[in-house]
């Protein structure tokens, strides 16, 4: 299986004339980013691609305050769904005040469309607090894991996999369950926002074409076939000889996956 970043998905959504998309969490400024300059390109894309991104805020291993500062510098409208406090991804509490608040989908749609009327090209970030009961305990575990990573000198690209594995072990799967819960919650809010944008576009005629010219996209990259062989559960694996079992194949490759998504969206490739 392949996947795309928030930045790449924003670009693809915009090319397909889709104004809203939902994700778990967006990238941002990493802790210590003032020294390492480790800043996600998601923030850059939000500054130049007019798409509403609905998430549970920035990923919890990041620096929320610095991320909000960068979003402000990039003139990206950022608000929290029905709260004045910016969420800490798993937990609804971070101690950081939100730059703005959205109480209904129509407010988000109106803000987004007025920005387009003014010729602004930035996206909009809507952070939805996670109301899963396990969220706060998961956030506490993340803080412990971050402290351990710092004590062990784990930096750069090694931090994220270390934190994810450590937190999964500490919470005994609660982090995955809470993650699934917040994605579902985000999807409900995102659907309401998408519906509100569509209704306001149709009623206000904000310069959108009902049949926009679709861009031609060329995907350059790889296409692979993943083959997974699994031995029979009734008999253990015997090395050096044939074994009864099953073979499963699946299509993969980032370029192939993107091409399939575009094809399903009926966008020329």
Q: What's residue 174's pLDDT? A: 83
Q: Collect the ranges in the chain with pLDDT lower than 70.
A: 1-2, 204-215, 266-269
Q: What's residue 2's pLDDT? A: 56
Q: What is the pTM of this model?
A: 0.72
Percent of the residues in the chain that have a pLDDT greater than 70, as a whole number: 93
Is residue 98 within 8 A of residue 84, CB to CB? The reply is: yes
Q: What digits encode the pLDDT tens for the residues 160-182?
A: 788 888 888 888 878 888 888 99
Q: What's residue 99's pLDDT? A: 96
CB-side exposure of 53: number of CA atoms within 13 Å?
Answer: 34
Q: How far apart are CA 42 and CA 68, in angstroms?
A: 13
- SS3 call for 112: helix
Q: Which residues contact 214 (CB under 8 A, 6 or more apart)?
A: 16, 17, 267, 268
By C-alpha distance, which of 91, 104, 187 is closest to 130?
91
User: Structure tokens of 240?
Assistant: 């050096």
Q: What's residue 269's pLDDT? A: 41
- Expressed in percent and rounded to 5, the helix, strand and coil fractions of the chain are 45, 20, 35
By C-alpha distance, which of 206, 234, 3 is closest to 111?
206
């Amino acid at each position: 299986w392949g996947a795309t970043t928030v930045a790449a998905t924003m670009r693809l959504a915009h090319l397909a004339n889709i104004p809203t998309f939902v994700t778990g969490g967006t990238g941002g400024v990493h802790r210590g980013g003032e020294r390492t300059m480790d800043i996600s390109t998601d923030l850059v894309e939000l500054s130049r691609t007019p798409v509403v991104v609905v998430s549970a805020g920035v990923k919890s291993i990041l620096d929320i305050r610095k991320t909000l500062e960068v979003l402000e510098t990039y003139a990206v409208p950022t608000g929290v769904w029905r709260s004045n406090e910016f969420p800490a991804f798993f937990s609804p509490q971070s101690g950081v005040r939100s730059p703005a608040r959205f109480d209904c989908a129509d407010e988000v749609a109106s803000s987004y469309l007025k920005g387009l009327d003014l010729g602004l090209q930035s996206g909009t970030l809507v952070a939805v607090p996670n109301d899963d009961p396990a969220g706060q305990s998961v956030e506490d575990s993340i803080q412990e894991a971050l402290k351990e990573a710092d004590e062990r000198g784990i930096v750069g690209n090694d931090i994220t996999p270390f934190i994810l594995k450590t937190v999964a072990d500490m919470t005994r799967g609660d982090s995955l369950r809470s993650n699934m819960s917040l994605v579902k919650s985000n999807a409900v809010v995102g659907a309401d926002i998408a519906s509100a944008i569509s209704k306001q576009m149709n009623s206000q005629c904000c310069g959108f074409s009902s049949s926009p010219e679709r861009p031609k996209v060329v995907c350059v990259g790889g296409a692979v076939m993943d083959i997974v062989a699994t031995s029979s559960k009734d008999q253990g694996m015997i090395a050096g000889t044939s074994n009864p079992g099953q073979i499963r194949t699946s299509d993969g490759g980032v370029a192939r996956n993107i091409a399939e998504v575009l094809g399903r969206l009926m966008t020329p490739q």
